[in-house]
Structure formats: structure tokens, C-alpha cells
Amino acid sequence: MNIDAVTGIINEAIQVVIIASMPSVGLGLVVGMIIAVFQAVTQIQEQTLTFVPKMIVVLWVLAATFPWMFRIIMELSVNLWGNIPLYSQ
């Protein structure tokens, strides 16, 4: 296995992780920004006001997108497993 194959595997794995995490991280960011603006306008400085809604949204998005995330991670795993003979050369 040469350095190009290792680099390609790492690159593909990082891309899959970023793509799979984008929906939950993105919506968590949007909810966090909305709550931060709400807190700045109303001058409410409650820590749980930022944490609980973001946690609920992120868990909801994870539940909604889990089949899709599982599919792309499994595709990467099956691809790597199927190409083991190619990597051992």
C-alpha cells in the first residue's frame, strides 16, 4: 500500500464524516444563532436556554437523518472492505 492509497482513504473518510455531520451541525448552529439573538434582544442570560433547544434540534435531526447517514457510512465501509485485495499490493 502506497502513500497515495492511504491519502485517498483518509480523504474519503473525512469527506464522509463532514457530509454526514453537516445537517445536525448546521441546524444546531442556526438554532444557536437564533437563541443568541433572542438573548441579546431580551437580555436573558440563562445557560439552559441555549443548551436545551440545540440539544433537542440536534437529536431530532440525527433521528431524522440516521438512515441516510448510516447508508453513506456503510457504503464507505463496504467499499474499503471490498478493495482490501487492491490495497495489499
In Å, how far are 33, 49, 85, 88, 89 from 15, measured between CA atoms?
25, 32, 23, 23, 25
DSSP notation for 7-41: HHHHHHHHHHHHHHHHHHHHHHHHHHHHHHHHHHH
The pLDDT-based confidence of 89 (bands split at 50, 70, 90) is: low
CA–CA gap between residue 21 and residue 41 (Å, rounded): 30
Domain extent, residue 16, equals 3-87
How much is the pLDDT for 49? 81
Mind listing the pLDDT tens digit for each residue in 26-79? 999 999 999 989 988 988 888 778 888 899 999 999 999 999 999 999 999 999
Q: Which residues contact 2 (CB under 8 A, 6 or more apart)?
A: none
Domains in the chain, number: 1
